[in-house]
Amino acid sequence: MSDNSQTPPAIRIWDERFSTDEYVYGTAPNDFLVRVADQLPGQSRILAIADGEGRNGVWLAKQGHNVHSVDGSRIALEKARALAQQAEVSIELEQADLLHWRWPKSQYDAVVAIFIQFAGPEARRRLFENAISSLKPGGLFMLQGYRTEQLAYGTGGPPQEENLYTEQLLKSELSGLDVLVLRAHDSVISEGMGHSGMSALIDYVGRKP
C-alpha cells in the first residue's frame, strides 16, 4: 500500500472519493465544455485545473489540443492516465495542490475550470488571480460551477454556500477578463454518480485582454 501520510487531509478526502473502479464524474466530457470548445483555436495549449479523473482533459486532447491537467488527487490522476491510454491520446498529468502551486505565467491559450469549488472565498480569489496570470493575452478562461441555489437541489457540489457562485461574484472576481459568456441556468445533468439531477449552474467564458 502506498504511503499517503504526506497528503493533506482536504486532498485525502478526494483520494477516498475516487477510490472506486467507477469514474465518479463519468468519462464523458462536461456538456458546457463541449458547447464552448469551438472558441478554442486549433492545437491550443490548455491548462485543465482540478481536472479529476480526466474526462475533460482527455476529451480536449482528443480534439487535438495540448493539455496540461493538474489535480491534487493521486488516485484521480491514475484514473486520468488510464482514460488517456484508452483514448490513445497523450496528456501531461501533474499532481499538485493548486492552492500552493507555482503557476506558470502567460503560458496557456485557455484555462478550463469545471466544478473547481473546493476553495472558500479567499483561496478562490487567489486561484482565479493565478489562473488569469497563467493565460496568454487573448487567452480564454472557461468555467462551469454551481450557483448558491444548488444547496436546495442537493444533487452535487460542496455544502458550503461561500464556495458557490453568483453572477455578481464571477463578474467581480474575474473583472480582469472580458466576459464572452455568463449564463445562469437550471439544468438536468448526468455526470456519473457525483453530479446527477436538476442543478443550479453557471457558465462562464472570459477573455484576457
Ligand X SMILES: C[S@@+](CC[C@H](N)C(=O)[O-])C[C@H]1O[C@@H](n2cnc3c(N)ncnc32)[C@H](O)[C@@H]1O
> How does 123-154 read in b/e, with b if 16+ C-beta sit within 10 Å?
ebeebbebbbebbeeebbbbbbbbbeebeeee
Q: Is 157 exposed, middle or buried (0-12, 13-18, 19+ CB in 10 A)?
A: buried
Kindly give, in sequence order, each residue whose CB lies less than 8 Å from that of residue 1, ignoring residues fewer than 6 positions away: none
C-alpha cell at 139: 487567452
- 34 is a contact residue toward ligand X (CB under 6 A): no
Least distance (Å) from ligand X to the CB of residue 209?
A: 26
Residue among 37 and 98 whose Cβ is closer to ligand X: 98
Question: Of 83-102, which residues contact ligand X (CB under 6 A)?
Answer: 97-99
Q: Whole-angstrom Cα distance, residue 31 to residue 81?
A: 22
Q: Which is nearer to ligand X, 20 or 175 (CB)?
A: 20
Among positions 51, 109, 150, 177, the unique one binding ligand X when judged by CB under 6 A: 51
| Cβ nearer to ligand X, comparing 14 with 208 | 14
Per-residue x/- track, 98-137, ligand X (CB under 6 A):
xx--------------xxx-x-------------------
Angle between helices 74-87 and 55-62 (to 10 degrees): 30
- H or E stretch including 177? none
Is 52 a residue that touches ligand X (CB under 6 A)? yes
Applying the rule CB under 6 A, the residues between 156 and 185 that interact with ligand X are none
How many residues bind ligand X, per CB under 6 A?
21
Residue 77 as a binder of ligand X (CB under 6 A): the answer is no
Q: Give contact residues for ligand X (rule: CB under 6 A).
A: 10-11, 14, 25, 30, 50-52, 55-56, 71-73, 76, 97-99, 114-116, 118
